Amino acid sequence: MASDKKLVSQDASLKPEDFRKIGIDERQAEVIQRESLSAWRDSWERLRQNKMAMTALGILGLIILAALIAPLFSKYNYYSNDLLSTNKPPSSEHWFGTDDLGRDIFVRTWYGARISLIVGLAAAAIDLLIGVIYGGIMGYFGGRVDNIMNKVSEILYSIPYLLVVILLLVVLEPSLGTIILALTITGWITMSWIVRGEIMQLKNREFVLASRSMGAGSKRLLFKHLLPNAVGPIIVTITLSVPNAIFAEAFLSFLGLGVQAPVASLGSMINDSLTGWLYYPWRFLFPAILISLTMLSFNIFGDGLRDALDPKLKK
Amino acid sequence: MGMVRYVANKFFYMLVSLFVLISATFFLMKAIPGDPFTSEKKVPPEIKARLYEQYGLDKPLYHQYFKYLGEIVQGDLGVSMKRLNQDVTHLIGQTFSASLKLGVIAIIVSVIVGVFLGMMAALYHRKFIDSAAMVLAVLGIAVPSFVVASLLQYVFAYKFHMFPVSGFKGPLYYVLPVTALSAQPIAFIARLTRSSMLEVLHADYIKTAKAKGLSWAAILSRHVLRNGILPVVTYMGPMTANIVTGSVVIEQIFGVGGIGKQFVEAIGVRDYTVIMGITIFYGVLLMLARFITDIAYVFVDPRIKLSGGKEG
Amino acid sequence: MKKSKSLLLMFALVLVIGTVLAGCGGNNNNANSGTNAAATNAAGNEGSTNTGTSGDEKLAADQTLRVNLTAEPPTFDPAQAQDSQANTVLKTMYEGLTRMNDETGQAEPGIAESWEISPDGLVYTFKLRDAQWSNGDPVEAADFVRAWKIVLDPNTDPTAPYAYQLYYLKNAEEYYGKKVTDFNEVGVKAVDAKTLEVTLKAPTPYFLGLLSFYTYYPVHKSVEGNTKWATNKDTMITNGAFTLTEWTTGQSLQVSKNDKYWDAANIKLAKIDFSLVNSGATELLSYKNGELDRAGAPHGEIPQEQIPIVQKELPNEFQRKGIASTYYYEFNITEKPFDNVKIRKALAMTVNRQSLIDNVTLGGQIPAYGYVPPGIAGADGEFRTAVKDSYFTEDTEAAKKLLAEGLAEEGLTELPPVELSYNTSEGHKKIALAVADMWKQALGITVNTVNQEWAVFIDNRQNLNYQIARAGWTADYNDPMTFLDMWVTGGGNNDTGYANPEYDKLIADAKASSDLAARQEMFAKAEKMIIEDDMILIPFYYYTNNSLTKEYLKGVTLDFSGAIDFTRAYLLEH
């Protein structure tokens, strides 16, 4: 398999004058860093040219904006019942119709989107932070450190998730924070494993060896070389981490462990509407379309971002 | 430095994990309010006291814990506290057979369909097939599984009478739950395969191989597929877990009496021995999945050394 | 560019498919919308009960009944059973001394073909008919003595949780508490193989009805020394119309006709297949798809919001029957602010029950202003007919006044936010949200609804760790006592903290009395105390069972408590 080990990361833009003989010197190492900065700028240019990804980004922006301000434009709130107008189809009075307690679905959908986004983004951010650090350390150091940390993550992972969640929602007051906590308690592990796998794969590559031989320390290697190069898979994982968290919350709603009513999330709204969706499709469709659109946008944007970050696919 | 030592080492750690898992679950479980004899129509105190005594719940927690550990070491999972006098092993055996069928079929379907979709998308990068496969994949990710399940049930069972609405009595019954359960993993695998295969396809060594005049089929099988499905192998562990948890919802919607449904029920009624039994069972299952993944990874990617060595 | 174009194309395609699907839904909706809100009628019993065979009916060749159970019975040991699902299945497999007549709500002969009651109401002498176990052994008095001994023996492993259902027997409680060690002193004796003599602790007018309950079923002698007999279909020897022939945990159950049953000639079903799906939506779809012959309560579930829809869609299959259960909210009256009766009354008077039933619960329930539900026997006919539940009325203005007075007594200017807990369930959630909103609008108080996992909820409620909690109570037997003796001081199911010596005395007197008219009067007084005087709970409604039965299925009956009897059912050609 030695023949596979070709130089793979040689950048075509390098010219002979870029090469200088350098010794083991912190100051000199900055040169490498500047190189990667311009690579980020390059990626942004590429991303901007990807219309699909930018459209997805735009839609995401709109969804977030609407989730924040749309409820303000309605005279209804998300919790007040109107038992005399339950399950009404969309009309000029209620743009998205009303639900089984006569609550306005327009307001609830955007309010629910807000809650879902908060859950998704917060959980993904925590997953990312813990997962990257944890996985990076595992993958980079390998050996005993990896072994022990991997065991710890494996043990956490093998604790049946439902039990942890029920327990947390019982021991702590059931709230948005508890749900986010419950989702992240095992959610970061997948991220850490992916980072670990990537780093393990990358760390024996020639450019890393080269950098090491030029005197780069562990921290620098990890954060300036390994992680940026592992960014593709990390991003693919994040774009799934957000929807995963949003879905996991929906899953909890399905088991009756979701957000406390009358607070709504897109997942809990879909779940509430599921038994009668044939008869009251608007109760199901609006949150379902919004949740799917959100997922779609995250995914398309994530793909675009990935393509943009990976110069190998430039052509 | 051999396979044997590697496996023995992994196996030892699995035992340690299992021990931690058992201990953690035991104490967590006991921290939840209520017990197996909590019921809306309250059992009179003298009867409750007798039940506690018989199940050893009147003893201090540490006593119960060590007693349970002792039984586990002897391979005894005990009897259910709620399904009176039923052996936990019997219960797991009966309910797992359905979940196993559902899960294994879903995993196989996910991998085959997912890798195939991802591969086609990568090979026909930026062509219609790519877009079609990716839209399918994105849809799989964008729609919650319980929505997929409900839609499938309505359209294919209720409207077109192609499959039964619920039950798990034969192959015809498997189609809808398996489809619902694998939609998400298929999507995930297709995306992973596509991106990693694209990476491989553009790697210089493939170009070299092409330049050397190696046949496309040989390149595909020797280099592209092998390197391309690496991330899929990594994903096997989490996927198994996802399918196991995901099946709770699917089992409920399609009325499949699986272990997932049993577990949720056991937690609901605080059937301690069943909760522990299924937890241990789940734990072992997931650890084995991880273990196999690790071994498979070693085989697929020779750059990972058996020792997980520190220096490159 | 090319990529974006084809992706956009696919995206458009998806949207089109989505719209088409939505369109399908829309059509359905047009056909039905507008009917649902107005669909509820004044409550009561609707649909026929389908009893009796008329001459021109032709039986279907395949007499296999298919129904769903939302939960799997945890056990088939009558001594260990504790829930309604077990009741549904055990009723097909066993028969006690008496059977509940579903029309009258009174006991009729079962394994006992006749009985005599001593003038003081304490000694019952039963004459057993020539009945057989499923293996051909005769059913004898000793089988009852054995079964009851197992239930009452504290050394049974595990001990029977419903042992107290047999405390009506003389010395039964003492035997369980080991104060009496010789079982011969307990009030049950096999005089000879076919004669059983039962002695009670106190006169119990509803005792014959109790005998149809599963804790009183006989067991075969083969169960002795085999604690696992009820976990395996092969060791289950039963004396009822059916025997257990298939059991895959979590998956399915099947009972088949027992040819040895004494009344086998009148049993037309060959088999009953029980599926075990705990989703109401799936059950309804299976029913509509022809995979089930009956759906809904008590063994299954029709999703609440689809009740008015199926009522319109399938008027000939839809059935509604009032059952002896009450849905209510209870107060923790030991803590502020609900230690104040005026505040409690204010809340009770501002729940718009009819609106709740018409718009939220949708099951045609009966608004409740009392605690004992219709269907429970009184001195002569139903208790609820003789004693009207006019203990209070819904009146927002009066409630506002009461609240103000109550707050003044408590030295408050406004009610601090109130916590309303309910256990996880779509139905309870909707009611809680609707009621919280009613209180907010009528009285301006803030109510936080708190959803708790079932056992946590029960634990909190039993430990008085709540302010207002959802509750429901179902009759154990056909007598107001089953609803009223729970509120005595320190009663096991008194989760309100109510302690009223006057009330305790009334209940004690009623328990000692065998004069039906006097008892009824005492019960009326007791009920007035907990509702009109002290308002320790807010009654919402009396339950109904809503179900769907295929037109070709006949002979399924429901008793006063909503328990179902499949044994005499049969299927017509269809």
Query: Over the stretch A207-224, which tens digit does the pLDDT of each residue have?
Result: 777 777 777 777 777 777
CA distances from C194 to B75, B172, C21, C111, C455 (A): 48, 52, 67, 10, 44
- Cα–Cα dist B276/B212, whole Å: 59
Contact A279 C37 (CB under 8 A): no
Confidence of residue A27 (pLDDT cuts 50, 70, 90): low
Kindly determine whether residue C33 and residue A279, on different chains, have CB atoms separated by under 8 Å: yes
Are C548 and C317 within 8 A, CB to CB?
yes
Contact C250 B134 (CB under 8 A): no
Name chain A contacts of C305, Cβ cutoff 8 Å.
87, 100, 275-276, 279-280
Q: How many CB pairs under 8 A join B and C?
A: 173
**Whether the Cβ atoms of residue B38 and residue C457 lie closer than 8 Å to each other:** no
- pLDDT above 60: residue C33: no
List the subunits that have 3+ CB pairs under 8 angstroms with B: A, C
Average predicted confidence (pLDDT) for chain B:
83
Chains that touch C (3 or more CB pairs under 8 A): A, B
Which among C281, C360, C424 has the least Cβ separation from residue A256? C424
Q: Which residue has the higher pLDDT, B197 or C56?
A: B197
Q: Can you tell me the mean pLDDT for C39-61?
A: 53
Report the gap between the CA of B93 and the closest CA in chain A (Å). Answer: 18
Lowest mean pLDDT, pick from A74-88, C17-31, C110-124: C17-31
Report the distance separating Cα C447 and Cα C444, nearest Å.
Answer: 9
Chain B, residues 229-268, CB within 8 A of chain A, namely: 230-231, 234, 237-238, 241, 245, 248-249, 252, 263-264, 267
The residues facing C537 across adjacent strands are C330
Q: What letter represents residue B131's amino acid?
A: S
* pLDDT for position B306: 47
Q: Across the interface, do A160 and B282 touch by the CB < 8 Å criterion?
A: yes
* Per-residue pLDDT at C8 exceeds 60: no
Residues 6+ apart with CB under 8 A from B97: none
Q: What is the pLDDT of residue C39?
A: 33
List the chains bordering chain A where 3 or more Cβ pairs fall under 8 Å.
B, C
Q: Do A260 and C450 touch (CB under 8 A)?
A: yes
Q: Is C71 left (phi over 0), alpha (psi -120 to 50) or beta?
A: beta
State the average pLDDT over residues B226-235.
Answer: 77
| CA angle in degrees (0–180, nearest 5) for C11-C14-C15 | 90
Phi/psi-derived region of residue C375, left when phi > 0, alpha when psi is between -120 and 50, beta in every other case = left
Joined tokens for residue C342 = 């005026």
Q: Is the pLDDT of residue A178 over 90?
A: no
* List of residues 6+ apart from C12 with CB closer than 8 A: none
- Using CB atoms, pick whichever of A141, A267, A313 lies closest to residue B202: A313
What is the predicted pLDDT for the residue at A228? 72
Residues C312, C569: contact at Cβ < 8 Å?
A: no
Query: How many angstroms away from the CA of B143 is the closest CA of chain A?
Result: 6
Nearest to C554 by CA among C563, C567, C543: C567
Query: 3-class DSSP state for residue C156?
Result: coil
* pLDDT band at residue A292 using 50, 70 and 90 as cut-offs: confident
| Residues C289, B158: C-beta atoms closer than 8 Å | yes
Does residue A2 or residue B251 have the better pLDDT? B251
Mean pLDDT, chain C, whole residue set: 88
Q: How far apart are CA C379 and CA C387, in angstroms?
A: 11
Q: How confident is the model at residue A9 (pLDDT cuts 50, 70, 90)?
A: very low
Q: Annotate C368-431 with DSSP letters as a single string.
A: -SSSSPTTSB-SSSBHHHHS---S----HHHHHHHHHHHHHHHT-SSPPPEEEEEES-HHHHHH
Residue B231 has its nearest CB partner, among A171, A233, A251, at A233
Residue C19 has pLDDT above 70, yes or no: no
Q: Quick check: A240 pLDDT over 90?
A: no
Of the spans A164-178, B149-163, B280-294, which averages the highest pLDDT? B149-163
Q: What percent of chain B has pLDDT over 70?
A: 95
Note whether A152 and A158 are within 8 A (CB).
no
Q: What pLDDT does residue A315 have? A: 33
CB contact under 8 A, C25 and A277: yes
Query: Residue A17 — pLDDT band, cuts 50, 70, 90?
Result: low
Q: What is the 3-state secondary structure (H, E, C) of chain B?
A: CCHHHHHHHHHHHHHHHHHHHHHHHHHHHHHCCCCCCCCCCCCCHHHHHHHHHHHCCCCCHHHHHHHHHHHHHCCCCCECCCCCCCEHHHHHHHHHHHHHHHHHHHHHHHHHHHHHHHHHHHHCCCCHHHHHHHHHHHHHHHCCHHHHHHHHHHHHHHHCCCCCCCCCCCHHHHHHHHHHHHHHHHHHHHHHHHHHHHHHHCCHHHHHHHHCCCCHHHHHHHHHHHHHCHHHHHHHHHHHHHHHHHHHHHHHHHCCCCHHHHHHHHHHHCCHHHHHHHHHHHHHHHHHHHHHHHHHHHHHCCCCCCCCCCCC
The reply to whether the predicted model has a pTM over 0.90 is no
What mean pLDDT do residues A165-178 have? 71
High-pLDDT (> 90) share of chain B, %:
16
Tokens 């086998």 map to which residue? C264
A279–C437 C-beta distance less than 8 A: no
Q: Choose the weakest-confidence range: A216-225, B195-204, C181-190.
A: A216-225
Strand partners, C257: C242
Residues ≥6 apart with Cβ < 8 Å to C507:
C481, C484, C485, C487, C488, C522, C526
Chain A from 126 to 145: CB within 8 A of any C CB: none
* B47 compared with A30, residue with greater pLDDT: B47
Residues in chain C: 574
The count of residues in chain B is 312
Say if residue A219 is exposed, middle or buried (CB neighbours under 10 Å; 0-12, 13-18, 19+): exposed
Q: How far apart are CA A109 and CA A291, in angstroms?
A: 10
CA distance C395 to C39: 26
Lowest mean pLDDT among A96-100, A234-238, C157-161: A234-238
| Length, in residues, of chain A | 315
Q: Give how far C298 is from chain B: nearest CA, Å.
A: 18
Q: Give contacts of A 27-56 with C, CB under 8 A.
A: 50-52
Contact status, residue C71 vs residue C85, Cβ threshold 8 Å: yes
Q: Do A247 and B144 touch (CB under 8 A)?
A: yes
Taking contacts as CB-CB distances below 8 angstroms, the residues of chain A near B208 are 6
